[in-house]
Amino acid sequence: MLLIHCPYCDETLPEAEFAYAGEAHIIRPADPSTLTDEEWRDFLFIRSNARGPHYERWRHVHGCARFFNAVRDTVSDRFLLTYKAGEKRPDLASLGVAE
């Protein structure tokens, strides 16, 4: 079982308390009605599918119930960092990872 650090509880807790919630930092278009079908498709469905460090959302659903963001290596399944929702996306160099 993965151990995940919740930035709101400030504790490292078992994966069974958490739920995965897709890729992070996907910004909803300010004015959806002006988008072309292709742009709307990209917003809804097209994801980076990273091999390696991946920015993603998690929710501590059976705990504080908060959404937060994480950087997880999709190859090793290791969490590099978790941070609160709304905080700036950290660059990979600051995590000691080559881009």
Partner 1 sequence: MMTSQTHDFAADAGARVRVEALAPVARFSLRVRQQGRAALGRALGLDLPERVGEVARAGERAVLCLGPDEWLIHAPEAETDAIAAAGAEVYAEAPHALVELSDREVSFAITGPAAAELLSIGCPRDLGRLAPGRAVRTVFDSAQVVLWRDGAEAFRVDVWRSFAPHVGALLDAGRAEIAAGL
Q: Which parts of this chain interact with partner 1 (CB under 8 A)? A: 1, 8-11, 13-17, 62-66
Closest CB to partner 1 among residues 9, 92: 9
Please say whether the beta carbons of 59 and 32 come within 8 A. Answer: no
Both tokens assigned to 43: 């917003």
From the CB of 56, what's the least distance to partner 1, in Å? 21
Closest CB to partner 1 among residues 14, 29: 14
User: Three-class SS of residue 34?
Assistant: helix
Q: Any idea of the CA torsion for 54, 58, 25, 9, to the nearest 10 degrees? A: -110
Closest CB to partner 1 among residues 16, 98: 16
